[in-house]
Each structure stands twice: as structure tokens, then as C-alpha cells.
A = this chain, B = another copy of it.
Amino acid sequence: MDAAQEAHNREAFRQAVVNTLERRLFYIPSFKIYRGVAGLYDYGPPGCAVKSNVLAFWRQHFVLEENMLEVDCPCVTPEIVLKASGHVDKFTDLMVKDEKTGTCYRADHLLKDYCKDKLEKDPNLSAEKAAELRHVLAVLDDLSAEELGAKIKGYGITAPDTKNSLSDPYPFNLMFQTSIGPSGLSPGYMRPETAQGIFVNFKDLYYYNGNKLPFAAAQIGQAFRNEISPRQGLLRVREFTLAEIEHFVDPDDKSHPKFSEVASLEFLMFPREDQVSGRAARRIPIGEAVTQVGLLDVCHLVSSCLLPGILFSILTIIHNSVCSGIVNNETLGYFIGRVYLFLTELGIDKDRLRFRQHLANEMAHYAADCWDAEIECSYGWIECVGIADRSAYDLRAHTDKSGVPLVAHEKYPEPKEVEKLVIAPVKKELGLAFKGNQRMVVEALEAMGEEEAMEMKATLETKGEAEFRVCTLDKVVTIKSNMVSISKEKKKEHQRVFTPSVIEPSFGIGRIIYCLYEHSFYTRPSKDGDEQLNVFRFPPLVAPIKCTVFPLVQNQQYEEVARNIARALTTVGISYKIDITGTSIGKRYARTDELGVPFAITVDSTSSVTVRERDSKQQIRVNVDEVASVVKEVTDGVSTWADVLWRYPTHSS
């Protein structure tokens, strides 16, 4: 199958899924009667039920299982908080405007579309030009406003709707802005993530946890992103539900007591190195991916095996050792494993799920490591969960801005004499030398590790100046000896005070649900073979409705039995749908298969009824009195369908 055919099939599959979802009200474009708003969607009844099942399972799987501290903070957030987090300054996309109509576009989207279009449709494209365009696509995310603007001008890209010329790209902040209170003097934003609400509460949560690390806080809630021009349907929206975990941990000890419980899980991982070298994702046990095999072990092996015949084995060992230690630490690895379990239990296909490590240029400078759970759907591989070790960045940022130290303490058994590195930048001299960049230089100096600092001290003493790379400025500056004093001081310390690292698994609930819809959808021929029927193979855990109740024919006796069963189902907390229309039983099955209802009870006598399983279409006969508890058993996962199939007589219709 060629690429065009494949793209066509993907598109057709997506259309079939989306049509079913929209027709059965899994979702509804919001404010539809007013012609809607791009990027806003409602969850209709079955979609809303799926969402609340997914969230309930998330609570069970993460919050309850790990004893996390769940909090619930407002969406309206004052500016200062998002100034500290960096969102006010950096949560932007580059935008261009149609110079006549003022319509806005995302600059990178236009350039991407142009390149793709040329590559796919221009038969006269030279090999050289094609290579250039492919290169542009590869580096698209790294282009600055100037570079993007130059490309857009260079290729003569115009506004797609009007062909008018476009403005230069400029940053547009993606937060919805508002004003808190009546004065107009307190700017606020709708939060772009739920994490900040947890960080600002660190001190109280640490206290609540008995001043002990590690602990995790969690939050489920709405987040907002005022997209310039939303595309990709349900995947890129302006308001969405996030479920976030902030696991606070001692930076010197990121081991996890329950790591062994996930260590043997094996799934698709896509480490940085493999991406760069063009290899495919591969199955690696997470236990192996986390283990730190020291370089010495490998060297030892190499030097002790001098026979050329076993060179191949050595290379294999070296190659395998690449897997080792690719995940920065056990806690990060533990969460990767737990996320894998969460997604696959929901019904995500494990062969279309991979964990991709961020490339160096994707990762924030402070992050220690970052892995995305990506799910493959008709739009390609989609980031659905991000699992990042954000080091101490967030807590430090809020400590600096608020003046409230967000730190943890560890008491020493007895006071310790410590030699402490003291780096004292001389702000006046630095100010004179670096003007507006002073703060960046100061921060970079203060952030030096012991080794680097002592090296600089030596250089300054011998040469009077030292070259120094400031990451945040992306350049090398010259530090003179009057600009900083570096020394070591001896002190008695009773406790260690430190800023915890935070490991953050962050779940885009809407994206997970959309991918789940695609992975659960299939079609099969109707009984008479003249049409294709849609089915969602949701596991009972996520199915919006667990069970339907149908009287086989319209009569009062059967209806009464159906109503009694319905009441029994409500009592045991099983959601059901009762259908007493006279429609044929086949049609009624088809209707509910399309909603992914796993079990159907058909009332065809007053003493016993049939229970049908959606995917196998197998049926069993169960007594009226028992049926609610049988359905509950298989729905709650206490028994499987195979179990009950053994226990009850099968029924063939």
C-alpha cells in the first residue's frame, strides 16, 4: 500500500469513528446552535460517562493506590503566579496576520502546510529543493520568529483564505486573560495547567505529609489554551481536562520503593539516541531501562575479552547496555510503568503506545529527563501523557517570586561540620558589564556546581578572568575577578535544607479518550450481511453504560420484569439503558454496540433471561433474580466473561 492510499484509509477510518461519535453524542461541538466556537467541544451523555469512568479509574490507580494528596484549585489565577512560572513571558505561539483582513494564523502551521504540499503535490520539485523542504520540516519547532518570517517571505507564502500578504511573525500569549475584581487593576488568567496550584501549596502539603519526603500531590481539573487556530478536532482544543501528579522527592535519592512491582513490564520505548540515529522504537523492560550499568563494567568486559572471536558478543553487550540507564531514575521509571498499566487497562492498544524520550532541544534546560506516552491514531503519534523530571525548577521559581522558602528539611542524627561553597556575585560590577543581562549571569554563576566553581576560582586567580557559558543567554561571557568571589566556608549544620525535585506525570484526558475511541472502534457485517455495523469494544471499566435491558416483545409482563431488573441494577450501582420500543432485537443490539455497551439483557421469559456479550455475541441464560449481580460481577472485573460462560447454560438465538 503506498503512502497516499494509507493516508486515504486513515482519513476514511477517522471519518467513520468521528461520524459515529458525533451521531451518538459522545461529543458535540459546543454552542452548535450558534454555529459553535472552534476548539470547544461538549461531552454528550455517553462521552461524559466515559470521561467520568476514566477519571474514577485514574483516582483509583494513582491517587488511592499511592496515597497521593489530591487538591482542587481554582482556574482563575492571578498574574504573579504565572509570571513566576514563566507562562506570562513564554507561553506563546508565533502568529502571523493577514495584512488586510486581520485573520490570524500560526506561523509554523503555514510553513508546515507549504512544505508538505510541495513535497506531496509538486511533480517538478528538484531533489535539492525537496531535501531543503524536508530539512525545514525537521527543524520547524526550533525556528525563531525571524527565521520563520524569513522562510515565509522567501517561499512567498500568503494567507490561505485570501492570498493576501502576511505580517511578520510575532508571539501571541496562549492564556485566556481576564481581570479579577471590579477595579481592572488585578490581571488574571485562566490557568494553562493545574500544576501551579500544587507548587504554591508545597509548604502546606509537606506539613500535611508530616514533613516527610517523598510524597505526591495530584489534581484533576480544567485547563485553558487560547489556540490561535485550533486544528486536529478533539486533539487540539481551547479548554481541556488535565490530571496531573507532582511527586516531590529528595534530589539525592530518586529511588522508588515499589519500582520492583513494575520492573518486569516490557513495552515500546523510543530513547533519544534511537530517534537521532533513525532507529525504530523497541520493546525494553522498564527495569532494564532504569538500571545504571556503570561504564566501568563495560570497559572491564571489553578489556578482559581479547579473543577476536567473541568480539560480536562484546558488541552485543555494549549495544544492550545502551538500554541501561536511559531513564534518569527509578521514580521516573516507576511512573512510566504505572502510566503504561493505566493506559492499557483503559483499552489502549499496547502495540500503538510508545514512550518517547524528549530530544535535548525539546526539553527545558532545567529538566533532568522527560518521556511522553505517545499513542498512535489516525493523526499520527500523539502525545497524551508527559512524564518529566522537572528538577527543582518550579519550587525555586515560586520561592524566588514569593519570598516564601519552598524547601524540605532533613535532620542529621548529629550536627555535621560541612565545607560549604559560597558563590557571591558582585552585582554592581556585573551590572556595569552586562546591563540587562545581569540577572541571567548572576543566576548562572550561582547555579555553578562545586567542580565548575573551583575551576573558575583557580582561573580567576591565575589569569584574572575566565570564560563562562550562560545557558539562558546562549553565549559565552568573560567574568573578571572583581565580579564574583568564590570560597569555601566551614559550618556546623544540624539539618540539610534543600529544594525537592519534582517528577510530573501530566495526563491530557481528552486526548487519551479520543485515542481510546479510535482503538476501540471496529465494524462488522449485520446478520443479513447487507450493512456494516459499528462497535466500540470498550472494556466494562470505561463503557459509558454497562448494560441494556430489552423486553424481547412488547408486553406488560416482560416490561415489568425489565423494570425490576433495572431497579436491581440501580441498587448495585450499574448504569443501564432500558429499551422498550418494539424495534427488532437485532437493531436494538446494533444501537447499543455503537455505544460500546458490553452486556445486554433480553427478557424473553418471566423466570430467566439471556445475557449477551458485545464482542463475542455469546449468550447465557441466567435467572431473573441473579442477573443484576452477574452483570455487576463481570463489570467490576470480579469475574471474566469466560468465567460466567462456564457457570451458566449458553443460549443460542
Residues of A bordering B, CB below 8 Å: 24-25, 28, 30-34, 37-38, 40-45, 47-49, 51-52, 56, 59-60, 64-65, 67, 69-78, 80-81, 95, 102-104, 172, 176-183, 185-186, 188, 190, 197, 200-201, 203-205, 208, 210, 217, 222, 224, 226-229, 238-239, 398, 401-402, 404, 406, 570, 573, 575, 577-578, 581
Contacts and interface: CB of A to CB of B under 8 A. Distances in A.
A224 B69 CA distance: 25
A25 B204 contact: yes
Nearest to A579: B210
A64 B178 contact: no
Nearest to A180: B37
B180 A226 contact: yes
Contact of A28 (B31, B176, B201, B222): B201
Nearest to A224: B76
Tell me how many chains of this kind the complex includes.
2
Contacts of A578: 67
Nearest to A227: B181
Given A52-B59, A190-B190, A104 B181 contact: yes
A202 to B, nearest CB: 9
B239 A182 contact: no
Interface hub of A41, A47, A72, A581 (most chain B Cβ within 10 A) = A72
A222 B30 contact: no
30 contacts: A30-B74, A31-B77, A33-B203, A33-B406, A34-B402, A37-B186, A41-B74, A42-B71, A42-B72, A42-B74, A42-B197, A43-B71, A44-B204, A45-B205, A45-B208, A45-B217, A60-B573, A64-B573, A75-B75, A75-B222, A76-B238, A76-B239, A95-B182, A172-B182, A176-B179, A177-B179, A181-B226, A181-B227, A181-B228, A190-B190
B226 A33 contact: no
Contacts of A181: 38, 104, 226-229
A197 B228 contact: no
Contacts of A398: 33
Given A31-B200, A203-B33, A239 B75 contact: yes
The 10 A-B pairs at the shortest CB distance, nearest first, are namely A43-B72, A33-B402, A45-B69, A104-B182, A33-B404, A74-B239, A42-B73, A176-B178, A48-B70, A48-B72
A180 B44 contact: no
Indicate the member of A34, A77, A188 with the most B CB atoms within 10 Å.
Answer: A34
A188 B37 CA distance: 10
Given A44-B208, A104-B183, 16 more contacts: A24-B208, A25-B205, A28-B201, A33-B404, A34-B80, A34-B402, A43-B71, A43-B73, A45-B205, A48-B70, A49-B70, A52-B59, A67-B577, A76-B176, A102-B185, A172-B182
Contacts of A200: 31-34
Contacts of A43: 71-73
B104 A74 contact: no
A638 to B, nearest CB: 11
Contacts of A229: 181
A51 B64 contact: no
A577 B68 CA distance: 11
A59 to B, nearest CB: 7
A238 B78 contact: no
A60 B570 CA distance: 9
Interface centre among A70, A177, A239 (most CB of B within 10 A): A70
Contacts of A30: 73-74, 197
Contacts of A48: 70-72
Contacts of A201: 28, 32, 42, 44
B80 A28 contact: no
Contacts of A197: 30, 42
A165 to B, nearest CB: 18
Contacts of A49: 70
Nearest to A173: B182
A194 to B, nearest CB: 11
A69 B46 CA distance: 8
